[in-house]
Structures are given as structure tokens and as C-alpha cells.
Amino acid sequence: MYEDKTLICKDCGKEFVFTAGEQEFYAEKGFQNEPQRCKECRIARKNSARPQKEMFTTVCANCGKEAKVPFQPTNDRPVYCSECYAAMKNEQ
């Protein structure tokens, strides 16, 4: 059977445990290499690959407050802050 192993993260240099359960999972999936990064570094690496959404600042067409939206506003359609949008959606 498998036994816990202590490995060294290649990014941060900290020790982390490659548990017997993780080893069994790797074997079931056919993975041949042991993990090279600790959980925190794997998460950071995964998140760094995702592009950050660009947010645009505009003025709410209903209340006039500043609103941040994930799209480039155009003048042909009104844009609402999250509170006004939620209120309008509930009215329908």
C-alpha cells in the first residue's frame, strides 16, 4: 500500500505531504509524476492563468450613482447599478 510522503514545493520551497490517499488517486488516474507544488502554489498558479475581468465605470441610468460593470457601456442602452438592476428585475 501507499504511505504518506513529504515532498518539497518547487515554487515556494516548503515541505508538503503527498498523502497515501492522494497517491492512490494519482495511480487510479494513471498519473505517473508526483505533484511538484504544494496546494497553495497550485491554486495560485491556476488563478494566475485566468485573465482578470476588466471592469468599466459608468453612471447608473436610474439613480445616478457610480456603477462598475464587466462590459464596455455604449450610449444606445441604459446601464444600471446592481441595486437598481435587482429592483427592476424583482418588479417583473
Cβ pair 67, 80 in contact under 8 A: yes
Q: How many CB atoms lie under 10 A from the CB of residue 62?
A: 16
- With 0-12 / 13-18 / 19 or more C-beta atoms within 10 angstroms meaning exposed / middle / buried, residue 43 is exposed
pLDDT in tens, the chain (92 residues): 899 999 999 999 999 999 999 999 999 999 999 999 999 999 999 888 777 788 999 999 999 999 999 899 988 899 999 999 999 888 87
